[in-house]
């Protein structure tokens, strides 16, 4: 999705400096992680980590906040939300250290120029060439990510954030085989399998909330039909139909590898969602400055931002920033608090599980 053509098989969005919202996990792995989490809760109840933005579960994807009380689970593969409470004996999450809550300056938003910007982004996406992922190959995506949560130790609660850390994910075209390396999910440097069937022998089908490359390749590229499908299949989710539609499109462009035509259609569809704005100055997790397409969730007071390079319109990353002051779990979350941030640093097609582009072939 870039104006300056670049082979996505070696998408390396350059890096700069700094530290998203949680959505879904692979269907069958939810129960497995829930059971593992409950076992940990029984082992240690001295330190509580509460995700302020209820993580939803999308495939094995990003640990991002969701902002709704319904059981929308946690983020991509691994982290699990049970009543929004995560327990860890050392006060952290798996192998990620914690620090002060992430903050940023709030860029001003405007509705002016939204259609024009999304049209430019859509054109850039359409011009990029995406090699077909062949059977036996894997989509590889590397990112830097961090999230903010409520941490309670010895009865005292305060906001904290995981430090910015690297995340790597591999997925087969049909979505049945995969691997995740993310210390916020699993402290082992080797990571964990995302391959199906799951621990109960189930092989869930891909869907909008948990898409595979093959699934995305078959979606309509008509913006109106695509948006209608998104509204229909996410009915009852999120804090409002419009916000959920925006969040769903955001998920599809963050940690997926979709055909260029679909990426283009997704951005055209986003332009039709009420409440979408432009934030002219935004930074991704590693500090790259760009322009953001965003939408404010009136219920949570948080704004989800998709960040693009101002010149090439290449997608850089996504973050969720608190815009309105709220109190969650007894802790005040001030405007400027970064609930979640993620920067895509590399997106490629590789020939084997756990291979990286440098070692491909």
pLDDT in tens, 34-68: 333 333 333 344 445 555 543 333 344 454 444 33
Handedness of CA 33, 34, 37, 38 (dihedral sign): negative
- Per-residue model confidence (pLDDT) at position 346: 94
Cα–Cα distances in angstroms (integers) from residue 266 to residues 208, 251, 283, in the given order:
12, 11, 22
Sequence-distant (≥ 6) Cβ neighbours of residue 131 within 8 angstroms = 7, 8, 9, 349
Extended beta strands in 24-137, E state? 47-50, 85-87, 98-100, 109-110
Sequence-distant (≥ 6) Cβ neighbours of residue 346 within 8 angstroms = 11, 12, 13, 140, 141, 142, 357
Q: Calculate mean pLDDT across residues 123-129.
A: 89
pLDDT in tens, 190-219: 999 999 887 778 888 899 989 999 999 999
- Asked whether 36 and 199 are in contact (CB, 8 A), the reply is no
CA 298 to the chain's CA centroid: 20
DSSP β-bridge partners for residue 147: 340
- Asked whether 270 and 237 are in contact (CB, 8 A), the reply is no
Token pair listed for 87:
């327990």
Q: Which residue has the higher pLDDT, 78 or 169?
A: 169
Would you say residue 338 has pLDDT above 80?
Answer: yes
pTM, entire model: 0.77
Count Cβ atoms below 10 Å from residue 205 Cβ, excluding itself: 9
Extended beta strands in 154-204, E state? 156-162, 165-171, 178-181, 192-193
Would you say residue 85 has pLDDT above 90?
Answer: no
Token pair listed for 274:
């009420």
Instruction: Give the span between the Cα atoms of 275 and 263, in whole angstroms.
Output: 20
Reduced to 3 states (helix: H, G, I; strand: E, B; else coil), residue 2 is coil
- Per-residue model confidence (pLDDT) at position 182: 94
Sequence-distant (≥ 6) Cβ neighbours of residue 179 within 8 angstroms = 169, 170, 191, 192, 193, 194, 195, 353, 354
CA 214 to the chain's CA centroid: 20
- Asked whether 194 and 77 are in contact (CB, 8 A), the reply is yes
pLDDT in tens, 294-330: 999 999 999 999 999 999 999 999 999 999 999 988 8
Reduced to 3 states (helix: H, G, I; strand: E, B; else coil), residue 19 is coil
pLDDT in tens, 286-296: 999 999 999 99
- Asked whether 206 and 246 are in contact (CB, 8 A), the reply is no
């Amino acid at each position: 999705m870039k104006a300056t053509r670049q082979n996505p098989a070696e998408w390396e969005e350059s890096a700069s400096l700094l530290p998203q919202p949680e959505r879904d996990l692979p269907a069958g792995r939810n129960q497995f992680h829930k059971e593992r989490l409950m076992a940990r809760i029984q082992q240690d109840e001295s330190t509580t980590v509460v995700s302020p933005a209820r993580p939803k579960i999308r495939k094995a994807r990003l640990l991002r906040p969701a902002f709704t009380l319904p059981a929308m689970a946690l983020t991509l593969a691994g982290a699990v939300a049970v009543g929004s409470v995560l327990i860890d004996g050392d006060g952290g999450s798996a192998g990620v250290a914690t620090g002060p809550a992430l903050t940023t300056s709030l860029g001003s938003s405007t509705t002016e120029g939204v259609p024009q910007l999304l049209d430019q982004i859509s054109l850039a996406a359409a011009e990029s060439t995406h090699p077909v992922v062949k059977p036996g190959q894997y989509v590889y995506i590397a990112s830097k990510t961090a999230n903010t949560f409520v941490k309670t130790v010895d009865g005292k609660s305060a906001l904290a954030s995981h430090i910015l850390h690297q995340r790597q994910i591999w997925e087969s075209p049909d979505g049945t085989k995969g691997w995740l390396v993310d210390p916020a999910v699993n402290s082992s440097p080797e990571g964990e399998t995302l391959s199906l069937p799951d621990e109960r022998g189930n092989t869930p089908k891909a869907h909008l909330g948990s898409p595979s490359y093959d699934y995305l390749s078959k979606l309509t590229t008509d913006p109106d039909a695509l948006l209608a499908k998104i509204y229909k299949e996410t009915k009852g989710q999120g804090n409002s139909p419009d916000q959920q539609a925006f969040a769903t499109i955001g998920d599809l462009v963050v940690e997926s590898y979709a055909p260029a035509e679909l990426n283009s259609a997704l951005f055209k569809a986003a332009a039709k969602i009420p409440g979408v704005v432009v934030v002219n100055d935004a930074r991704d997790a590693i500090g790259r400055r760009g322009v953001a397409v965003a939408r404010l969730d009136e219920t949570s007071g948080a704004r989800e931002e998709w960040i693009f390079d101002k010149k090439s319109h290449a997608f850089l990353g996504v973050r969720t920033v608190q815009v309105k002051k709220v109190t969650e779990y007894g802790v005040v979350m001030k405007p400027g608090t970064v609930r979640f941030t993620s920067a895509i640093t590399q997106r490629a097609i590789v020939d084997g599980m756990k291979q990286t582009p440098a070692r491909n072939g």
